[in-house]
Amino acid sequence: MSTLFMSPKGGNCTTVTTAAFALTSALRGTPTVLFDLCGDAPAVLGLSEPSSPGINDWLNENGDGTAESLVKLGTPLHNGLVVVHRGARFVEGQPRWQQFAEAISSLPQNVIIDAGTTFVPEEVRTAVHTVTMVTRACYLSLRRATHLPKPHNVVVIKEESRALTVNDVSHVLGVPLRAEIPYNPAISRAVDAGLLPSRCEQLLSHLLPEG
Protein backbone atom coordinates (compact mmCIF):
# COMPACT_ATOMS: atom_id res chain seq x y z
CA MET A 1 0.00 0.00 0.00
CA SER A 2 1.08 3.57 -0.58
CA THR A 3 -0.46 6.86 0.51
CA LEU A 4 0.47 10.40 -0.43
CA PHE A 5 -0.59 13.03 2.10
CA MET A 6 -0.99 16.58 0.83
CA SER A 7 -2.64 19.82 1.88
CA PRO A 8 -4.05 22.89 0.12
CA LYS A 9 -2.54 25.24 2.68
CA GLY A 10 0.23 25.39 5.26
CA GLY A 11 -0.64 25.04 8.95
CA ASN A 12 -3.06 22.15 8.51
CA CYS A 13 -1.04 19.66 10.60
CA THR A 14 -0.16 17.61 7.51
CA THR A 15 3.30 16.50 8.65
CA VAL A 16 2.12 15.51 12.13
CA THR A 17 -0.81 13.61 10.61
CA THR A 18 1.42 11.86 8.08
CA ALA A 19 3.92 10.94 10.78
CA ALA A 20 1.10 9.56 12.93
CA PHE A 21 -0.13 7.34 10.09
CA ALA A 22 3.42 6.08 9.50
CA LEU A 23 4.05 5.40 13.18
CA THR A 24 0.70 3.66 13.55
CA SER A 25 1.33 1.50 10.48
CA ALA A 26 4.63 0.36 11.99
CA LEU A 27 3.07 -0.16 15.43
CA ARG A 28 0.50 -2.46 13.80
CA GLY A 29 3.31 -4.65 12.49
CA THR A 30 3.68 -3.43 8.90
CA PRO A 31 7.18 -2.47 7.70
CA THR A 32 6.78 1.16 6.65
CA VAL A 33 8.81 3.81 4.82
CA LEU A 34 8.00 7.48 5.31
CA PHE A 35 9.25 9.74 2.50
CA ASP A 36 9.53 13.38 3.52
CA LEU A 37 9.23 15.76 0.56
CA CYS A 38 8.78 18.81 2.82
CA GLY A 39 11.71 18.66 5.23
CA ASP A 40 9.90 18.69 8.58
CA ALA A 41 9.43 14.99 9.36
CA PRO A 42 12.74 14.53 11.27
CA ALA A 43 11.88 17.40 13.61
CA VAL A 44 8.33 16.16 14.16
CA LEU A 45 9.64 12.66 14.94
CA GLY A 46 12.27 13.88 17.38
CA LEU A 47 15.23 13.03 15.12
CA SER A 48 18.37 15.11 14.88
CA GLU A 49 18.59 17.40 11.87
CA PRO A 50 19.98 15.23 9.04
CA SER A 51 23.03 16.27 7.06
CA SER A 52 23.31 13.21 4.82
CA PRO A 53 21.88 12.90 1.28
CA GLY A 54 18.12 12.44 0.97
CA ILE A 55 15.29 12.27 -1.54
CA ASN A 56 16.21 15.44 -3.43
CA ASP A 57 19.78 14.17 -3.88
CA TRP A 58 18.45 10.85 -5.21
CA LEU A 59 16.20 12.78 -7.61
CA ASN A 60 19.13 14.64 -9.20
CA GLU A 61 19.04 14.63 -12.99
CA ASN A 62 22.26 12.61 -13.26
CA GLY A 63 21.42 10.16 -10.48
CA ASP A 64 20.99 6.46 -11.18
CA GLY A 65 19.80 5.15 -7.80
CA THR A 66 17.54 2.16 -7.29
CA ALA A 67 14.55 1.75 -4.98
CA GLU A 68 16.81 -0.05 -2.51
CA SER A 69 19.34 2.80 -2.52
CA LEU A 70 16.51 5.26 -1.91
CA VAL A 71 15.39 3.41 1.22
CA LYS A 72 19.00 3.09 2.41
CA LEU A 73 19.12 6.89 2.63
CA GLY A 74 16.61 6.62 5.46
CA THR A 75 16.94 6.50 9.23
CA PRO A 76 15.42 3.50 11.04
CA LEU A 77 13.20 4.82 13.82
CA HIS A 78 11.55 1.90 15.60
CA ASN A 79 9.02 -0.89 15.03
CA GLY A 80 10.09 -1.25 11.40
CA LEU A 81 9.65 2.41 10.40
CA VAL A 82 12.29 4.01 8.16
CA VAL A 83 12.25 7.79 7.62
CA VAL A 84 13.78 9.06 4.37
CA HIS A 85 14.36 12.80 4.76
CA ARG A 86 14.28 15.48 2.07
CA GLY A 87 18.05 16.01 1.84
CA ALA A 88 19.17 18.94 -0.28
CA ARG A 89 16.79 21.86 -0.47
CA PHE A 90 16.71 21.75 -4.26
CA VAL A 91 17.07 19.07 -6.92
CA GLU A 92 19.88 19.54 -9.43
CA GLY A 93 18.61 19.55 -13.00
CA GLN A 94 15.39 17.88 -14.06
CA PRO A 95 13.96 15.77 -11.19
CA ARG A 96 13.67 12.05 -11.96
CA TRP A 97 10.04 11.83 -10.86
CA GLN A 98 9.23 8.90 -13.12
CA GLN A 99 12.06 6.87 -11.56
CA PHE A 100 10.83 7.87 -8.10
CA ALA A 101 7.31 6.72 -9.01
CA GLU A 102 8.67 3.40 -10.23
CA ALA A 103 10.79 3.03 -7.10
CA ILE A 104 7.95 3.54 -4.62
CA SER A 105 5.71 1.22 -6.67
CA SER A 106 8.26 -1.57 -6.39
CA LEU A 107 8.86 -1.40 -2.65
CA PRO A 108 7.39 -4.19 -0.49
CA GLN A 109 6.92 -1.88 2.52
CA ASN A 110 3.94 0.31 3.22
CA VAL A 111 4.90 3.63 1.59
CA ILE A 112 3.76 6.92 3.12
CA ILE A 113 4.70 10.25 1.55
CA ASP A 114 4.48 13.65 3.20
CA ALA A 115 4.02 16.09 0.32
CA GLY A 116 2.43 18.93 2.32
CA THR A 117 1.92 21.85 -0.08
CA THR A 118 4.81 20.71 -2.30
CA PHE A 119 4.13 20.25 -6.00
CA VAL A 120 3.61 16.58 -6.82
CA PRO A 121 3.77 15.54 -10.48
CA GLU A 122 1.08 13.38 -12.00
CA GLU A 123 3.35 10.35 -12.36
CA VAL A 124 3.82 10.24 -8.60
CA ARG A 125 0.13 10.82 -7.86
CA THR A 126 -0.85 7.95 -10.13
CA ALA A 127 1.84 5.65 -8.70
CA VAL A 128 0.34 5.67 -5.19
CA HIS A 129 -2.78 3.80 -4.15
CA THR A 130 -4.31 6.70 -2.22
CA VAL A 131 -4.03 10.49 -2.21
CA THR A 132 -5.24 11.87 1.12
CA MET A 133 -5.82 15.55 1.71
CA VAL A 134 -5.28 16.89 5.24
CA THR A 135 -7.12 20.07 6.15
CA ARG A 136 -8.85 21.98 8.87
CA ALA A 137 -12.51 22.88 8.45
CA CYS A 138 -11.33 26.22 7.14
CA TYR A 139 -12.91 28.28 4.36
CA LEU A 140 -9.53 29.42 2.99
CA SER A 141 -8.22 25.84 2.85
CA LEU A 142 -11.36 24.57 1.15
CA ARG A 143 -11.27 27.45 -1.33
CA ARG A 144 -7.75 26.44 -2.36
CA ALA A 145 -8.58 22.73 -2.27
CA THR A 146 -11.27 23.10 -4.93
CA HIS A 147 -8.57 24.26 -7.38
CA LEU A 148 -6.31 21.24 -6.77
CA PRO A 149 -6.49 17.72 -8.24
CA LYS A 150 -9.18 15.81 -6.39
CA PRO A 151 -7.89 13.50 -3.60
CA HIS A 152 -9.31 10.05 -2.89
CA ASN A 153 -10.28 10.97 0.68
CA VAL A 154 -9.74 13.56 3.39
CA VAL A 155 -8.47 13.77 6.96
CA VAL A 156 -10.00 16.67 8.87
CA ILE A 157 -8.41 18.34 11.88
CA LYS A 158 -11.50 19.15 13.91
CA GLU A 159 -11.62 22.39 15.88
CA GLU A 160 -14.72 23.16 17.91
CA SER A 161 -14.54 26.89 17.13
CA ARG A 162 -14.99 26.43 13.38
CA ALA A 163 -18.25 27.37 11.67
CA LEU A 164 -17.73 24.65 9.07
CA THR A 165 -18.17 21.02 10.09
CA VAL A 166 -16.26 17.87 9.18
CA ASN A 167 -19.19 16.84 6.97
CA ASP A 168 -19.05 20.20 5.19
CA VAL A 169 -15.43 19.49 4.22
CA SER A 170 -16.23 16.04 2.87
CA HIS A 171 -19.24 17.39 0.97
CA VAL A 172 -17.38 20.31 -0.62
CA LEU A 173 -14.51 18.06 -1.75
CA GLY A 174 -16.85 15.28 -2.85
CA VAL A 175 -14.69 12.59 -1.23
CA PRO A 176 -15.14 10.31 1.81
CA LEU A 177 -13.76 11.11 5.25
CA ARG A 178 -10.75 8.93 6.09
CA ALA A 179 -10.28 10.19 9.63
CA GLU A 180 -11.37 12.95 11.95
CA ILE A 181 -8.68 14.13 14.38
CA PRO A 182 -9.80 16.50 17.14
CA TYR A 183 -7.33 19.30 17.80
CA ASN A 184 -5.48 18.30 20.96
CA PRO A 185 -2.80 20.51 22.60
CA ALA A 186 -1.24 17.34 24.04
CA ILE A 187 -0.20 16.35 20.52
CA SER A 188 1.51 19.69 20.01
CA ARG A 189 3.32 19.30 23.33
CA ALA A 190 4.50 15.80 22.34
CA VAL A 191 5.87 17.15 19.05
CA ASP A 192 7.57 20.10 20.77
CA ALA A 193 9.25 17.70 23.21
CA GLY A 194 10.33 15.27 20.48
CA LEU A 195 8.13 12.57 22.00
CA LEU A 196 5.59 11.91 19.24
CA PRO A 197 6.93 8.37 18.52
CA SER A 198 6.44 7.30 22.14
CA ARG A 199 3.08 9.10 22.56
CA CYS A 200 1.51 8.31 19.19
CA GLU A 201 -0.24 5.13 20.28
CA GLN A 202 -1.85 6.88 23.24
CA LEU A 203 -2.75 10.12 21.49
CA LEU A 204 -3.48 9.27 17.87
CA SER A 205 -3.45 5.63 16.82
CA HIS A 206 -7.00 4.93 18.01
CA LEU A 207 -8.25 7.72 15.73
CA LEU A 208 -6.66 6.29 12.57
CA PRO A 209 -8.22 3.56 10.43
CA GLU A 210 -6.46 0.40 9.32
CA GLY A 211 -4.78 0.50 5.91
Q: Give the number of domains in the chain.
A: 1
* Global pTM value: 0.94
Structural domain of residue 153, as residue ranges?
A: 5-9+11-207
pLDDT tens-digit map of 103-127:
999 999 999 999 999 889 999 999 9
Dihedral sign of CA atoms 130, 148, 39, 207 in order:
negative
pLDDT reported for residue 211: 64
Q: What is the pLDDT of residues 69-90, one digit of tens each?
A: 999 999 999 889 999 999 999 9
CA 59, chain centre distance (Å): 18
pLDDT value at residue 49: 87
Q: Render 23-42 in DSSP notation, one character per residue.
A: HHHHHTT--EEEEESSS-HH
What CATH number corresponds to the domain at position 67?
A: 3.40.50.300
Segment 136-159 mean pLDDT = 92
The CA angle 121-26-209, to the nearest 5 degrees, is: 75
Question: What percent of the chain stands above pLDDT 70?
Answer: 100
Q: What is the average pLDDT value for the chain, to the nearest integer?
A: 93
Q: Residue range 2-14: average pLDDT?
A: 93
Q: 58-67, pLDDT tens digit by residue?
A: 999 988 889 9
pLDDT score at 63:
81
